[in-house]
Chain A
Amino acid sequence: MKQFRLLLIVILSVSILLLGTACGGKASESTAETSAAQSSEQAQTSAPSEEPVKITFLNSKEDINQQIVDAIQVFSAANPNITIEVLSTGQSPVEKAISLYASGTPATLCMLDAGDIQKFKDKAADLSNEKWAAELAQPNQIDGKTLAFPFAVEGYGLIYNKSVVEKAVGGSFDPSSINTTAALEDLFQKIQSTGVAPVNIGSMDWSLGNHFLALAYATQPDNDVNKFLDGLKSGTSDLVNNPAYNGLLDTFDVMKKYNMSINDPMAVTYEQSIGAVAKGEAAMTFNGNWAMMEIQKSNPDGEFGFVPVPVSNNASDAANLSIAVGATKQIFIDKEKSTDAQQAAAKKFLDWIVFDPAGQNFLVKESNIIPAYKNIALEPNNSLAKAIVLYNNAGKSIPFAGNFVPGDHWKVLGASMQKYLVDKIDRAELATDVEAYWQAIK
């Protein structure tokens, strides 16, 4: 019987050990912190720059993954003791980051969408005193502290194919001449008379929900997105009578009328909508400067630009001439599981991107990213990015309201916008959907 009991004890303890490692949680956290404290003390007594440090970087911009890997090779050549491992993720960086935290192995550097940084604010290292924080074109603070490194500035509006539009207007085209919904409709008619489809609306829920609909949040009279969203949450907003909302949908109705895929709007995928504009089959589509990668697949040499989406017929309305611009991808440094040496290495890498000429080259020239930093004088190569920089520098920008919404906004209200696209619901019902969604957010 003794041996029977012994066997039982062995089996149960093996099971419990396995379960214990699966649960992780607070116990392993505190051991990691104490060992981190010990190793950082050791690092300080010995020469810190000589210690080999390995950090991980969660990259959510798949289209520039190769450029990031190349950049890290250059960085590691200059800093031989720092190795950076890149993890790439596609659709939802938040899900990947959460699962990394749950398994106890978070990435040292995490690149997330701006709206998601809020969720990780107690796990992000305070970067307010970093050198680059002083060079930010716009402050990037949560609760008064800079918790994330703005990686990419992006903007969206109506992308247009310069050669197609110039042929339609018979000369050079100035986007600022489109300052009302009526002017846009006029332009569409001119384009249609040359035999080209004026616009090809992409039916993607993320585009219609988080970008197009969000313009209604960003073009309110005082440009205060949070105040407007608070109004939506408390039910005091009366969206159906809101002038910016109605003006935006007036423009959308015009776009629907001249939509290339008017017979089957839901069949238009991202690739199709961009490809049509790149090849000149359509003159415009609603999307952002990140679409340049897709455009260059069919038309590497073409020139493109942005027309702002008009939200009224009032020619003096500043919002009609402004492009939504914001720092969409941001990187935060994990302070929960990363040792001090790892955090220092991560901060060094971020400094390198902003201040080292090789880093700036990677950011702007290789990856075609618009930087958020005043000290970087380089300009991205492609015409869309250049257009965004122009709008931004001229102060003709409105908030990137997609950064202020919860994680499922694009899924839920994107679906509602799709229903509006195919005329399944009308404006009043869409307004009810939007208000119902926000009122359910606690």
Chain B
Amino acid sequence: MKLCKKTQNLVNRMLFTGPSIIAFLSIIIVPFLFGVYITLFKWNGIDSDVPFVGFNNYLEAFSDKAYWVSIWLTVRYVLASVLLINSVAFAFAYLVTSGIKGQNIFRATFFTPNLIGGLVLGFIWQFMFNNFFVSMGQKYNILIFSKTWLGDETLAFWALVIVSVWQYAGYMMVIMIAGLINVPKDVLEAARIDGATNFRKLIHVTLPLMIPSFIITIFLSLQRAFMVYDVNYALTQGGPFGSTVLASMFVYNKAFVRLDYGVGQAEAFILFFLVAGITIFQVYTTKKMEVEA
């Protein structure tokens, strides 16, 4: 087939991106649109007769107090996780590029937790908090560990944060290593000659030049923290007393356990717009902070 240049280009593009587009459409776009459709009905997932309720589901979602409590809890979790993940990751990245002995082994060790899937991670840490720490705490009389952290509301929250930090710090560290290595040596050299201490070099030269990496890591950690489900489920199952039910778990319970698909989907949309808004705002503001060497 002799095609004109324009068509040939299109065929090439379609050949390479076609499968991905089809997959993206059918797995993400179509369920999304179907979700919008569901929010206008009251459906329990089983019935064939489904009454149309218009925007009632959205009204119910906005007035659902428990949902907003869950969102507020998720926001606090996100703040804690993002701050800690990025600080710890930066500390690791700095350590690993500072030229100490065995830094490659450290690199690999710090990255490994990220390879363990969320569910397995949650179960391992559940065992740690419920059994290991408790028996250590009781044996050596360490008060804070003598009762399981997962039985207390505040401590269970921090347990979730700790597990998330453990999981993602390695991944963010890798991104920051790339950023750190790319800080031009001559600028650092110039700063040293001008008499800057290591600390000042860090604050005034390295960090500003690493902002592109921070954009990525903060974006990724924000998005993952907001949407977390697997660690939440495996570690606490939303307990104790439903006090660590984060937003995704709340939506899941509303739709699939309470069997109220319309309201669950409406709440999921609210979450989506919230996360999209926050992440876009974050990328926009941090991009403005980028500096040239």
Contacting B46 at CB < 8 Å: which of A98, A408, A415? A98
**What is the CB-to-nearest-CB distance from A266 to chain B, in angstroms, rounded to a whole number?**
4
Q: Is the CB of A18 within 8 A of B134?
A: no
Task: Using CB atoms, name the residue of chain B closest to A421.
Answer: B241
Interface members, chain B 24-43 (any A CB < 8 Å) = 25-26, 30, 34
Q: Is the CB of A19 within 8 A of B10?
A: no
Task: Using CB atoms, name the residue of chain B closest to A98.
Answer: B45
Q: If A408-B253, A411-B242, A411-B253 touch, does A267 touch B148 (CB 8 Å cutoff)?
A: yes
**What is the CB-to-nearest-CB distance from B35 to chain A, in angstroms, rounded to a whole number?**
13
Chain B interface residue count, CB cutoff 8 Å, equals: 34
Q: Is the CB of A264 within 8 A of B147?
A: yes
Q: Is the CB of B240 within 8 A of A266?
A: yes
Q: When each residue 79-96 of chain A gets 1 if its CB lies under 8 Å from chain B and 0 otherwise, what string results?
A: 000000000000010110
Q: Is the CB of A267 within 8 A of B7?
A: no
Q: When each residue 9-45 of chain A gets 1 if its CB lies under 8 Å from chain B and 0 otherwise, what string results?
A: 0010011001100110000000000000000000000
Interface members, chain A 390-442 (any B CB < 8 Å) = 406-408, 411-412, 415-416, 418-419, 422, 424
Contacting A92 at CB < 8 Å: which of B10, B147, B239, B257? B257
Please give, as numbers and ranges, the residues of chain B lying within 8 Å of A1 by CB-CB distance.
Answer: 4, 7
Please give, as numbers and ranges, the residues of chain A lying within 8 Å of B98 by CB-CB distance.
Answer: none
Q: Is the CB of B26 within 8 A of A95?
A: no
Q: Is the CB of A22 within 8 A of B30?
A: yes
Q: If A11-B14, A411-B242 touch, does A267 touch B47 (CB 8 Å cutoff)?
A: no
Q: When each residue 374-395 of chain A gets 1 if its CB lies under 8 Å from chain B and 0 otherwise, what string results?
A: 0000000000000000000000
Q: If A14-B22, A122-B47, A408-B257 touch, does A419 touch B14 (CB 8 Å cutoff)?
A: no
**What is the CB-to-nearest-CB distance from B214 to chain A, in angstroms, rounded to a whole number?**
38
Q: Does B11 count as interface, using CB distance less than 8 angstroms?
A: yes
Q: If A19-B26, A19-B30, A120-B46 touch, does A411 touch B257 (CB 8 Å cutoff)?
A: yes
Q: Does A101 count as interface, using CB distance less than 8 angstroms?
A: yes
Contacting A3 at CB < 8 Å: which of B7, B25, B45, B148? B7
Task: Using CB atoms, name the residue of chain B closest to A92.
Answer: B257
Q: Does B256 count as interface, using CB distance less than 8 angstroms?
A: yes
Task: Using CB atoms, name the residue of chain A closest to B259.
Answer: A407
**What is the CB-to-nearest-CB distance from B131 to chain A, in angstroms, rounded to a whole number?**
9
Please give, as numbers and ranges, the residues of chain B lying within 8 Å of A411 by CB-CB distance.
Answer: 238, 242, 253, 257
- In the assembled complex, the Cα of A336 lies from the Cα of B193 at a distance in Å of 81
Q: If A101-B46, A266-B148, A267-B148 touch, does A415 touch B241 (CB 8 Å cutoff)?
A: yes
- In the assembled complex, the Cα of A119 lies from the Cα of B49 at a distance in Å of 12
Task: Using CB atoms, name the residue of chain B closest to A266.
Answer: B151
Interface members, chain A 66-114 (any B CB < 8 Å) = 92, 94-95, 98, 101-102
Chain A interface residue count, CB cutoff 8 Å, equals: 37
Q: Is the CB of B130 within 8 A of A408?
A: no
Q: Does B44 count as interface, using CB distance less than 8 angstroms?
A: yes
Q: Is the CB of A406 within 8 A of B258?
A: yes
- In the assembled complex, the Cα of A123 lies from the Cα of B18 at a distance in Å of 39
Q: Does A137 count as interface, using CB distance less than 8 angstroms?
A: no
**What is the CB-to-nearest-CB distance from B94 to chain A, in angstroms, rounded to a whole number?**
39
Q: If A122-B48, A264-B151, A411-B257 touch, does A23 touch B34 (CB 8 Å cutoff)?
A: yes
Task: Using CB atoms, name the residue of chain A closest to B30.
Answer: A19
Please give, as numbers and ranges, the residues of chain B lying within 8 Å of A416 by CB-CB distance.
Answer: 241
Please give, as numbers and ranges, the residues of chain A lying within 8 Å of B22 by CB-CB distance.
Answer: 14-15, 18
Q: If A15-B25, A95-B256, A119-B44 touch, does A264 touch B241 (CB 8 Å cutoff)?
A: no
**What is the CB-to-nearest-CB distance from B254 to chain A, in angstroms, rounded to a whole number?**
9
Interface members, chain B 161-189 (any A CB < 8 Å) = none
Q: When each residue 133-165 of chain B gets 1 if its CB lies under 8 Å from chain A and 0 otherwise, what string results?
A: 010000000000001100100000000000000
Please give, as numbers and ranges, the residues of chain A lying within 8 Å of B293 by CB-CB distance.
Answer: none
* B residues with CB within 8 A of A: 1, 3-4, 6-7, 10-11, 14, 18, 22, 25-26, 30, 34, 44-48, 130, 134, 147-148, 151, 238-242, 253, 256-259
Listed A/B pairs (30) with beta-carbon separation below 8 Å:
A1-B4, A1-B7, A3-B3, A3-B7, A4-B7, A11-B14, A11-B18, A18-B22, A22-B26, A22-B30, A23-B34, A98-B46, A98-B259, A101-B46, A120-B46, A122-B48, A264-B147, A266-B151, A266-B240, A267-B130, A267-B134, A267-B151, A406-B258, A407-B257, A411-B257, A415-B239, A415-B240, A418-B239, A422-B151, A424-B241
Extra 13 A-B pairs, beta carbons < 8 Å, given A95-B257, A264-B151: A3-B7, A4-B6, A7-B7, A19-B25, A19-B30, A92-B257, A98-B259, A267-B147, A267-B148, A267-B151, A415-B240, A418-B239, A422-B151
